[in-house]
A and B are shown apart, each in its own frame.
Chain A
Amino acid sequence: MIIEDYISSGIIESYVLGLADAQEIAELEQFRSIYPEIQAAIDSFEASLETVALSNAIAPAADTKDKLFLALELQDEFINKTNTIEPDATDVKEEAKVVSMPLKPIPAKSAKMFQYVAAASIILFVLSAALNVYFFSKYKSATKQIVALLNQKNALYTDNQTIQAKYLELNSSLQLMSDTNIIKVAMKGIPGKEGDLATVFWDNKTKDVYLLPNKLPKAPEGKQYQLWALVNGKPIDAGVLEDCNGVCKLKNTQKADVFAITLEKKGGSPTPDLSQLYVLGKVSS
């Protein structure tokens, strides 16, 4: 074996990246202990991988480390070094001390002063009352706005949900239509009902039948559309069309030359009422 060829065969990269199969791994782990060149090539590729990854580092979310240490129940002193400042106990004590004041008659000199202070405090009180009224009305209108916004948010959320549900439905329909196992049978309106159209999607493998009622008038009260598979001209019940959005799944049908839809009484009939035939289409083979 020429070691250079082995080294440049790509095996080392697939080993390091975890893409080698069991046999290749066993082989390489044997060689690496014998040939220092191979060991060196592995080391070098690992080192350059690490360099690329480090130089492309993305800072993780700030709380990921906290969550991690919490999950592992490690001491959080290593998470970050900021210490919360504990209130000093002696300070608290001093503040709590009650200072007793001796009662003394107010001297005449300070009586005038007292009047000023009283006047000022009345003015302040009135001012603060006015402000209270003002802020309260602000608060009320803000609350109203919040409620309006919340309502709006809920409405948007519901809309979003509906759109997402619709989207998922359309997506599954689309997937069905693009599936290569699916035979598409367009059923056109019979003379007199040319505007009507429905499409059958028939899975070649599972024989499941899906129906897309592209254009069918709304079934009258107490009636339902029923799909028929015609084999050698003999109609076989393929299920009734329930009230579903988009594509509806009907009965599994093993054989069909032609698919057709008739309008029947609710729940379907054992044989079709051919006078109520709406659309039909041949299965192209």
Chain B
Amino acid sequence: MRLNLIYQYSLEAVKKYSETELVQLLKQRDQSAYSYLYDNYSGALLSVIYNIVSEVELANDVLQEVFIKIWRQIESYDDAKGRLFTWMLNISRNASIDTVRSKGYQNSQQNQELTDAKQEAAGSIQLSVDQIGLRKVVHQLREEYKVLVELAYFQGYTQDEIAKMLDIPLGTVKTRLRSALIQLRTIIKE
């Protein structure tokens, strides 16, 4: 936690672009603006990725992939549709879900469980995914909301798929997910 604070602090110290300037420079392929973007946002995006891809090394790989996408697709970013961060957040979420759904990841997870069990037995401390980022917020939601946000946001299932999985009507999934998001906003704003 303290490390995070120091990290945060060091970011504050170098802040120099407004968002509009930053986007403009990025669209002009300005490398120092890109470096600045990485320094300022990689940590926040990594927390989002790590919420979905709960393996540190792999999460860093996804982060790299996300920043490559940002560099290559910055042209398609439209500030009328939202903030730069929201755009990057959605790229991160999609890339993470794709990674988790890939076959390679699922095989590695099966092997991972053994190693995890061993590490836990050895008493090593691992940062629980529930304790950081958006997941920490979601963790405070009501139980029936938590499941929906987990499946819809972190695992990327459509509401239709969720209705079938949980055997509840699609209408219920829709209204509950909406209520969940309203509660989520309230928690975030606090």
B189 contact set on A, CB distance < 8 A: 48
Complex-state Cα separation, A48 to B184, whole angstroms: 11
Residues of A within 8 A of B136 (CB): 56
Q: How far is the CB of A116 from chain B (nearest CB, A)?
A: 59
Q: How far is the CB of A260 from chain B (nearest CB, A)?
A: 35
Q: A14 touching B38 by the CB < 8 A rule?
A: no
Q: Is the CB–CB distance between A46 and B83 below 8 Å?
A: yes
Question: What's the Cα separation between A59 and B44 when bound, in Å?
Answer: 8
Smallest CB separation, A277 vs chain B (Å): 39
Q: Are A53 and B133 interface neighbours, CB within 8 A? A: yes
Say which residue of B4, B60, B83 sits within 8 Å of A60 (CB atoms): B60
Across the interface, do B188 and A49 meet the contact criterion of CB distance under 8 Å? yes
A67 within 8 A of B: yes
Given the interface contacts A10-B177, A61-B60, does A74 sit within 8 Å of B42 by beta carbon?
no
Q: A53-B89, A78-B31, A167-B114 are in contact. Are A60 and B63 (CB under 8 A)?
A: yes
Chain A residues positioned under 8 Å from B50 (CB to CB): 58
Whether A48 and B153, one on each chain, are in contact in the complex, defined by CB atoms closer than 8 angstroms, is no
Q: Contact check, A58 vs B182: say whether CB atoms are below 8 A apart.
A: no
B residues less than 8 Å from A42 (CB atoms): 82
Contacts A57-B7, A71-B64; A16 near B44 (Cβ below 8 A): no
- Identify which of A49, A65, A72, A167 gathers the most chain B CB atoms within 10 Å of its CB: A49
B119 → chain A closest CB, angstroms: 13
Asked if B185 is at the interface of the complex by the 8 Å CB criterion, the answer is yes
Interface digits, A9-20 against B, CB 8 Å rule (1 contact, 0 not)? 111011011110
Across-interface contacts of B111 in A (CB, < 8 A): 164, 168
What's the minimum C-beta distance from A80 to chain B, rounded to whole angstroms?
Answer: 10
Check: B76 CB closer than 8 A to any chain A CB: no
Query: Contact between B181 and A10 (Cβ–Cβ < 8 Å)?
Result: yes
Place the interface of chain B in its size category.
Answer: 35 or more
* Closest CB in chain A relative to B151 CB, distance in Å: 11
Cβ-defined contact, A9 with B35, below 8 A: no
- Number of chain A residues whose Cβ lies closer than 8 Å to a Cβ of chain B: 47
Bound form: Cα–Cα A209–B38 in Å:
55
Query: B73 near A: Cβ within 8 Å?
Result: no
Give the complex CA separation of A27 and B181 in angstroms.
18
- B68 CB, min distance to chain A CBs, angstroms: 6
Contact yes or no, A59 B38, CB < 8 A: no
B179 touches A (CB below 8 Å): yes
Given contacts A49-B85, A59-B43, whether A18 and B179 have CB atoms under 8 Å apart is: no
B63→A49 contact, CB < 8 A: no
**Known contacts A8-B182, A60-B63, A74-B31; A18 and B85 CB within 8 A of each other:** no
Q: Chain B 1-40 against A: per-residue CB contact (8 Å), 1 yes, 0 no?
A: 0011001100100000000000000000001101100100
Residues of A within 8 A of B (CB): 8-11, 13-14, 16-19, 21, 29, 42-43, 45-61, 64-65, 67-68, 71-72, 74-75, 78-79, 160, 163-164, 167-168, 171
B residues within 8 Å of A by Cβ?
3-4, 7-8, 11, 31-32, 34-35, 38, 41-48, 50, 56-57, 60, 63-64, 67-68, 71, 81-83, 85-86, 89-90, 93-94, 110-111, 113-114, 132-134, 136-137, 152-153, 159, 177-182, 184-185, 188-189
User: What 9 pairs between A and B have smallest CB-CB spacing?
Assistant: A57-B43, A10-B178, A13-B181, A78-B35, A53-B44, A50-B85, A56-B133, A10-B181, A61-B60
5 A-B contacts, Cβ less than 8 Å apart? A18-B93, A48-B185, A53-B134, A61-B56, A68-B64
